Structure 1
Amino acid sequence: MSQLGFKSILNRFSFLCKMVCFSVLASPSLKVTELQAEEANTLPNVVIVFTDDQGYADLGCFGAEGFETPHIDQLAADGRIFTNFYVAQAVCSASRAALLSGCYPNRIGIRGALGPGRKDGINPEETLLPEIFKQRGYSTAHFGKWHLGDAPEFLPTRHGFDEYFGIPYSNDMWPKHPTAGDRYPPLPLIEDEKVVELNPDQSQLTKRYTEHAIDFIERNQKQPFFLYLAHSMPHVPIFASEKFAGTTERGLYGDVISEIDWSVGQIQETLKRLQLDQNTIVIFTSDNGPWLSYGPHGGSAHPLREGKGTAWEGGVRVPCVMSWPGHIPSGTTCHELAATIDILPTLTGIVGADLPEEKIDGLNILPLLLDEPEARTPHEVYYYYWVNELHAVRSGPWKLHFPHSYRHVLVHGEEGLPGKQNYPKTELELYNLDEDISESHNVLDQHPEIVQKLKKYADAARADLGDQLQKVQGANVRGLKLTK
């Protein structure tokens, strides 16, 4: 047996022993002794860092040019890179809903990006990730962008988070955006449920979110905690604090990513200082691909096709790094398909909590995290939706696009302004992503049997979740909550 295989078995045995311990501690019939309370502290802490519009190639370990990300790269060296990691839609609200619910956003009625003053938002009947952690006695906090409804009943503190500090929707939804006109009210900065500032200085947001995150970790070091840090950057308009402005060859965009990398470094340093790093799962990823029309103020999805707002790989495949010392093997890479919808069921299994009673779409990818021998993606098929339209399906390396229009940049913008774009239409097209990651060679005619197989998967998706392109209503779609 190889050394790696033996190490994998030892790690798995250790993990299973902890799971048995967690299950015993969860039994309400047992008296909690001091020893049991001490053992309960072995429940892993969880930190999710979720950036906004950061492209596939916008990390050093994913080939970034013009700036460096040493702290995130170290996280990758200590853990595992995921090269086939997906969001559920290439747009803000839908992507966040998928991460926190474990569902395709179409299933729970969240599509696109919710604007300020909407009368709807995340349904309280949906079980979100912080509510899963609350089952096991975790402290929970969200700092950064929320975007699942800005009315009081939709805010994070009403959905499982003990604390919140951030903005309720995208940072471009404010009066100062050059293309906003008079569409938006002042952008609120909210602490828990109170507006503490209007139109905050966005150059300080990354720093302020980070300071709140560090304070939360320090205050909860004696108990398990879940920290969801959803940076507003690098979504336009982009800003960097004085310490980072003008420090990279890539210009302001590189400065912004450099500050996000600093933020990750601050969190890692705090975990190490408090001797929590060995018992903390850290996940770093992005909500969708780059907003290409903003040119130098947007990121890069190289070598993927297109970006944000599309079902091409550049819109939905994002960089992902995960670390969990002693469990996730260091310096490894996973090429199997995994997705944000898998985070909830995977973490639920790790901490020994109950899955939501309502149907979810994510699957447990723990074997991929642990790099178990012969571990493969649990997804037989993966769906690519844009709002209510089914644009593509994937199974194995094969991705079938259905006829649809998509945004394509003709001329990149400058100085924070969007460029020109049009909406060409793709026809029925088949790509082998293992051989053609850039989706540049349509092999539809060479593989008719694959096409028929993927069409059947699409029919099942339409019956389940709907498809506006085919005018099909999904049978298993749940709705948003309306304000009172």
Structure 2
Amino acid sequence: MLSRLAPTLLLLACHFSIQAETLPNYVIIFTDDQGYNDLGCFGSKTIKTPHIDQLAAEGRKMTNFHVPSSVCSPSRAALMTGCYPKRIGMHKHVIFPNQKHGLHPDEMTIAELLKQKGYATACFGKWHLGHTPELLPTSQGFDEYFGIPYSNDMKHPANKGKPKIPQDESWLKQGETFSAWGTPLIEGTEIVELPVDQRTITRRYTDRAVKFIEDHRDEPFLVYLPHSMPHIPLFVPDDVRDPDPKNAYTCVIEHIDAEVGRITDTLKKLGLDKNTYLIFTSDNGPWLRFKNHGGSALPLREGKGTTYEGGQRVPCVVWGPGRIPAGTSSDAFCTTMDLFPTIAALSSATPGERKTDGHDISKVLHGQSPSPRTEMLYYTSSGELKGLRQGDWKLLLPLARKNAPKHGKVELFNLTEDISESKNLAPEHPEKVEALKSRMTELDAEITRNARPRWSKS
């Protein structure tokens, strides 16, 4: 009897072993300069985002989710590595086309983390972590890359001769003006289109993501989809363009939403939805000075380029049917740095011995526990130490200026009671100011001592 049952028992054992070792897929959608208020599920009354709202209805909305920088390159470096930008030498503002530095290839990215477990990996979109061949995604753990190497308002090769076109005019005549921006489109390490037709780029990124998912449906995969939009100049395909410039930003976000719908439809059609984590978030807050070409961070204060909440608290939706509790919202304090160790834990991958700054928030995403994160340092867009969040409290200090008085004032906010940072409590709580200042200095000193260099081409 046992001999006859042996093959069946062996097959069952193999089946359960395979099931136990099934690795989840990941889709990370990272928009550019999208504000906290720029989704229906985050309170927008003017922008319709039914597909992302549906993700929130089927998943988890993260309302206290942050990026560790208010500008592009440092923020993206933190997402990829789980580190403060200063720890990896990527904190001093963004990378321009005439600069030859970027994220050091010795750093481990999320893609390299997952390659250990046999994942297929792809990046479709804006990279902005270095544009020389040694620094592009295919040298940083991604099997495929299709996208622009830096912001869509930057010009190849040295950022010279950029057009001075008013944003409203650019939107009205986008069929004529897109060619004025000399931004390259790269496949692998080669420029394949110069200038890139920005009218269709959001859709083409999604086309590539959909095909990659279809091609790799039978193996674990990572799709990193960092959209170029809604960074100015704004463009959409002609068939979805609202000709009124007042609606330009709304039109771009609604187009991104439709393209997100194509991704989720593909996952559902292929039966991959229940084994996939999809994370939708932004690299920093909205570029407010561009008015109808920029978004909204309400009820938060300020936007891109600042250390106020509007610059670094971003919308985030996490979707994973059967894994993420549906229709839930979490105010747990989390950051993009936490995604690296979280994905490592979910995939049983080894993050290596290099010091990182993220926390495993997998239990937070699954609705099982509070966040392990209690603190976050604030640095300016140029990498200067500015403040500390600790629990409910947030301290921002005036910046020291060479041969000049400090700029600004000491500010202390209780974010639980005052999310808009409207009431400065520093005069009332000098002891809290001193305690946070001491801790801020201590944390930054450790990062400074152990900072690793960025890569630079001599």
Moved more, 342-351 or 192-201: 192-201
SS in 2 for 1:153: coil
| Structure 1 partner of 2:88 | 108
State the 1:176 CA deviation: 4.9
Could you tell me which residue of structure 2 aligns to residue 93 of structure 1?
73
Shift in alpha-carbon separation, 1:189–1:249, aligned structure 2, 3 A: closer
The counterpart of 1:301, out of the listed 297, 302, 308, is 297
Aligned amino acid, residue 456 of structure 2: L
- In structure 2, give the amino acid aligned to 1:385: Y
Query: Does 2:425 align with 1:429?
Result: no
Structure-1 residue corresponding to 2:186: 190
**Is the 8 Å Cα contact of residues 154 and 183 (structure 2) preserved in structure 1?**
yes
> Is it true that 1:395 corresponds to 2:390 in the alignment?
yes
1:281 aligns with 277
The answer to whether the 8 A contact 1:99-1:344 is kept is yes
Q: Aligned with 1:251: secondary structure? A: helix
Structure 1 pair 195/37, CA: closer, same or farther in 2 (3 Å)?
Answer: farther
Corresponding position of 1:404: 399
> What is the match of residue 238 of structure 2?
242
Q: Structure 1 regions of 5+ residues with no counterpart?
A: 1-32, 407-423, 466-473
- In structure 2, relative to structure 1, the CA distance for the partners of 1:304 and 1:73 (3 Å cut) is same
Deviation at 1:125, TM superposition (A): 1.0
| Residue number in structure 2 paired with 1:72 | 52
Query: 1:196-243: CA deviations, max 9, x gaps?
Result: 010111010001000000000000001000000000000000111122
Superimposed CA distance per residue, residues 158-199 of structure 1 (whole angstroms, 9 cap, x where no aligned partner): 01000000000000002554279xxx9932100111110101
Q: 1:451 aligns with which of 403, 413, 433?
A: 433
Structure 1 residue 34 displacement after superposition: 7.0
- How far off is 1:451 after superposition? 1.7
Q: 1:347 to 1:37 in 2, by over 3 A?
A: same
Instruction: Give secondary structure in 1 for the equivalent of 2:238.
Output: coil
Q: Please state how far the C-alpha of 1:249 moved relative to its aligned partner.
A: 10
Identify the residue that residue 3 of structure 2 maps to in structure 1: none
Q: For residue 392 of structure 2, what is the amino acid of its counterpart?
A: P
Selected match of 1:364 from 329, 345, 360:
360
- Residue 384 (structure 1) aligns with: 378
What is the distance in 2 between the residues matched to 1:249 and 1:41? 51
**2:123–2:225 contact (8 Å) kept in structure 1:** yes
Gaps of 5+ in 2: 1-12, 156-160, 167-179
- 8 Å CA contact retained: 1:66, 1:249: no
Pairwise CA distance, 1:248: 9.0
* Secondary structure, counterpart of 2:377 in structure 1: strand
Task: Give the TM-score, by structure 2 length.
Answer: 0.88
Say whether 1:127 aligns with 2:96: no
Partners in 1 of 2:112 and 2:18 — Cα distance? 23
Q: Runs of at least 4 residues of structure 1 off by over 4 A? A: 33-38, 247-250
What is the aligned residue count?
422
- Pairwise CA distance, 1:279: 0.6
Q: Which residue of 1 aligns with 2:63?
A: 83
**Is the counterpart of residue 136 in structure 1 residue 133 in structure 2?**
no
How far apart, in 2, do the equivalents of 1:44 and 1:133 lie? 11
Amino acid of the residue matched to residue 366 of structure 1?
S
1:42 equivalent among 12, 16, 22:
22
Conservation of the 8 A alpha-carbon contact between 1:79 and 1:324: yes
Q: Give the secondary structure class of the aligned counterpart of 1:89.
A: coil
Paired with 1:50 and 1:276, the residues of 2 have a C-alpha distance of 21
SS at match of 2:61: strand
1:178 aligns to what? 164
Residue 173 of structure 2 aligns with which residue?
A: none
Question: Partner residue of 2:320?
Answer: 324
CA distance in 2, matches of 1:155, 1:60: 34
Map of 1:223 onto structure 2: 219
Aligned residues: CA RMSD: 2.1
Relative distance call for 1:405 and 1:296 in structure 2 (3 A) is farther
Q: What CA distance in whole angstroms lies between the structure 1 residues aligned with 2:434 and 2:237?
A: 53
TM-score when scaled to structure 1?
A: 0.84
Contact kept, 8 Å, 2:182 with 2:196, in 1: the verdict is: no
